[in-house]
Structure 1
Amino acid sequence: MKLETERLILRKIEETDVERMFLLDSNPEVMKYIGVPVLTEQSESLAVIRMIQKQYKENGTGRLAVIEKETGLLIGWSGLKLLTEETNGYKNVLDLGYRYLPEFWGKGYAMEAAIASLELGFNEMNAKVIYAYAHAENDGSNYILKKLGFEKTSEFTEPDGVCNWYELRHEKYLP
């Protein structure tokens, strides 16, 4: 699976991405609202990559590496995954998520990659609804989800705080 936008390539995450993934996973700013500890060993990022690769095989989808065309660098990940464990009362639904290195924040990359992922979900995977959630204090993520057209439908509490739950119905999605 490979998606291409004006400035980005979204492709499956590979074990050779471990160094850049570790930069992401070990950054306290990136991990601030995630609810999991900052990773301290590259081997932990390799385990994350293998978990995502398992999702590709078992669920037919998973987060994708986001590559900046200009530099060829992995700048983060984005995409749809199947929530196989219950989250806010939902299970076996598509969830949009993303994470980027801070030096790539504010450049519109999250929107660009999310739009490509939503088009894949609605047009090729025939999803009727795509869900997303973000920590209530994560202004950047909440802003992006609202700008994409997601509607906040509820809140739920995670160990690290309150999260906003969003949904986007296919009929309301206007790229």
Structure 2
Amino acid sequence: MKIGTIETERLILRKLIPSDDEAMFLLDNNQNVHRYLGNKPVTSIEESREYINNIQIQYIQNGVGRFAVILKETNEFIGWAGLKFITEPVNERQNFYDIGYRFIEDYWGKGYGQEAAKAWLDYGFNQLKIQKICAYADIENKGSRKILEKIGLQQISEFDDEGTACVWLELTKTDYLK
């Protein structure tokens, strides 16, 4: 299935493109953004370009991937959000759809993460016909966990991800449609 753009009240979600490289670097070069992501911010714009390229490959291979989040009001890139089909094992699971998001720090706390994630849940369940959407987050990342819980994901378990204590959350299509 070919995904175009998704619009919400305040956001446009579209595929990442090479010209997003500078904004992606601004996002992923920030120490605070990477606080719960292993504290490994990117150090060169080349890393951001490679990341965008890898996501573009996911669009082709899996029909889905992380999308740029554009603020309608200003046409600014403020982060990314979307579904990713994960094929490598995580928490003794593999071949699952993961919902995720990451925003430039200036845009934290404004509801954009929840708005984008909710749009992706709707798209995943209703357009892509996915039966279950999962997520995992550092147990200390209260902001991300709050978004996931607000959009309806339920914590299933806690697990160790390469030395980091994480929570595992899931939402089935049946529960979403209730």
TM-score in terms of structure 2 length: 0.95
Is it true that 1:60 corresponds to 2:51 in the alignment? no
User: What's the offset of the Cα at 1:73?
Assistant: 0.7
Is it true that 1:76 corresponds to 2:65 in the alignment? no
Q: 2:158 aligns with which of 152, 155, 158?
A: 155
1:4-43 equivalences under 5 Å are: 4-35=7-38, 37-43=40-46
Q: Are the equivalent residues in 2 in contact too, given 1:33–1:160 (CA < 8 A)?
A: no
Runs of 4 or more consecutive aligned structure 1 residues displaced over 2 Å after TM superposition: none
TM-score in terms of structure 1 length: 0.97
Q: What is the root-mean-square deviation in Å for CA atoms of aligned residues?
A: 1.2
Is it true that 1:119 corresponds to 2:122 in the alignment? yes
Structure 1 gaps of 5+ residues are none
Q: Percent identity?
A: 49
**1:119 and 1:167 mapped to 2: Cα distance?**
14
The one-letter code matched in structure 1 to 2:41 is V
The one-letter code matched in structure 2 to 1:75 is I
**1:137 and 1:24 mapped to 2: Cα distance?**
20
Structure 2 gaps of 5+ residues are none
Matched pairs, number:
175
Q: 2:97 aligns with which of 91, 94, 98?
A: 94
Q: Are the equivalent residues in 1 in contact too, given 2:100–2:135 (CA < 8 A)?
A: yes
User: What's the offset of the Cα at 1:87?
Assistant: 0.8
